[in-house]
Amino acid sequence: MDFRLDDEQLARVSHVREFAQQVLSESARRRIAESAFDRELWNRAADLGLSGLPIPEQWSGSGFGALDTMLTVEALGFGCTDMGLVFSLCAHMFACAVPIWRYGDDAQRQHYLHRISKGELIAANAITEPESGSDAFAMRASATRDGDTYILRGEKCFVTNAPVADLFLIYAKTDPNQSFFGVSGFLVPRDTPGLSVTDGGSKTGLCTSPWGSLYMDDCRIPASALLGEEGGGAPMFHDSMIWERGCLFAAYVGAMERALQQSIDHARNRKQFGQPIGRNQSVSGRLVDMKLRLETSRLLLYRAGWLYDQGEPYEEAIALSKLWISECSVLSGLDAMQVFGGTGVSSAAGVDRLLLDSLPSRIFSGTSEIQKELIARHMGLR
């Protein structure tokens, strides 16, 4: 097996890392302290192609496969200390742009996909409800056909990008008697009458990524807003989650590498009892654990991306990758804070960010428990 990246991949990774460090990380500490989303930095990231990586070039994307998308997102996660911005970009790409690319008709792609890929429109995916989280298809939001329109009613919560989004991909029940095959997806512009958006407030992690709730009060939309086929929303959402679970978590691999490098530098330079703390087995052991988690996470990630690109069975590999990376990033965040000691607890130092930004990763895109259920099913245990 050849694990080497080619010259084009190496150059892209280096360029994205440098851009993220020099541009996207500028004033990151202030933005994080204020939980502030920066549209100008979003635009600069989009100008580099970071809002449409897997979208074909004909729709203004980069046309990357899964593995090349992962490599780019990993470089972004390494260089950008504002993981909230990275998360917003990835949610926009994988949960919204990918479904429009893969399931939209030519008119929908022409109208939306160019501008989404270029970051001119910010998109948000709305599926979670107060009473349906992991059991997403038990949703209560409804879409009732009325001639050449649909009427949307209901509520959505924890919608990433909601306060700043221009377009929503909203999932609602078109057949209340069905579960998986009773859900459909709709493209709904922000200014649609009957649609209101509220800000979700501050978060512990990913705090610069805005979130909120949607309320649909007899929200009438044209039938042309239906994305894909009626009743096809669940397979479409599942397909988008394959991309999100696979590619978004590459950012955490990059962040884990950044935290490891910071911790090694600190362990070499910080002295206690007359020697660098890295010479103490209790400290070096933590750094070895962080290194092991990083390398195994990267191997699982790249394997999942390679399998997807080769057309091989990939669902189990992606679930394994998502589960492992999300759990490892939390543990490595804890270890980094322990290595830094009192400095690690100080938010001004920024060492706490890997831990705080990793905590939500065990929940979104399917909880760790859901990933274990998927893996168990592939093992023939379900």
pLDDT in tens, 113-159: 999 999 999 999 999 999 888 888 889 999 999 999 999 999 999 99
**What is the model's pLDDT at position 179?**
85
Under 8 Å between Cβ of 175 and 182: yes
Does residue 1 surpass a pLDDT of 80?
A: no
Q: What is the pLDDT of residues 224-246, one digit of tens each?
A: 999 999 999 999 999 999 999 99
What is the C-alpha to C-alpha distance for residues 256 and 267, in angstroms, rounded to an integer?
Answer: 16
55 DSSP assignment: S
Mean pLDDT of the chain: 96
**What is the model's pLDDT at position 194?**
98
Residue closest to 294 by CA, chosen among 227, 206, 358, 342:
358
Catalytic amino acids?
A: 244
Under 8 Å between Cβ of 221 and 247: no
| Whole-number Cα distances in Å, 380 to 200, 323, 367, 375, 377 | 40, 18, 20, 9, 5
What is the C-alpha to C-alpha distance for residues 328 and 294, in angstroms, rounded to an integer?
Answer: 8
What is the C-alpha to C-alpha distance for residues 153 and 211, in angstroms, rounded to an integer?
Answer: 20
Per cent of the chain over pLDDT 70 is 100
Q: Please give the model's pTM, rounded to 2 decimal places.
A: 0.96
Q: Residue 2 — very low, low, confident or very high, per pLDDT cuts 50/70/90?
A: confident
What is the C-alpha to C-alpha distance for residues 175 and 231, in angstroms, rounded to an integer?
Answer: 7
**What is the model's pLDDT at position 289?**
98
**What is the model's pLDDT at position 111?**
96
Region 175-186: mean pLDDT is 93
H or E stretch including 17? helix 7-19
Beta bridge partners of 146: 149
What is the C-alpha to C-alpha distance for residues 148 and 111, in angstroms, rounded to an integer?
Answer: 19
**What is the model's pLDDT at position 92?**
98
Does residue 375 surpass a pLDDT of 90?
A: yes
Residue closest to 136 by CA, chosen among 171, 177, 98:
171
Q: For residue 161, what are its two tokens?
A: 């990008």
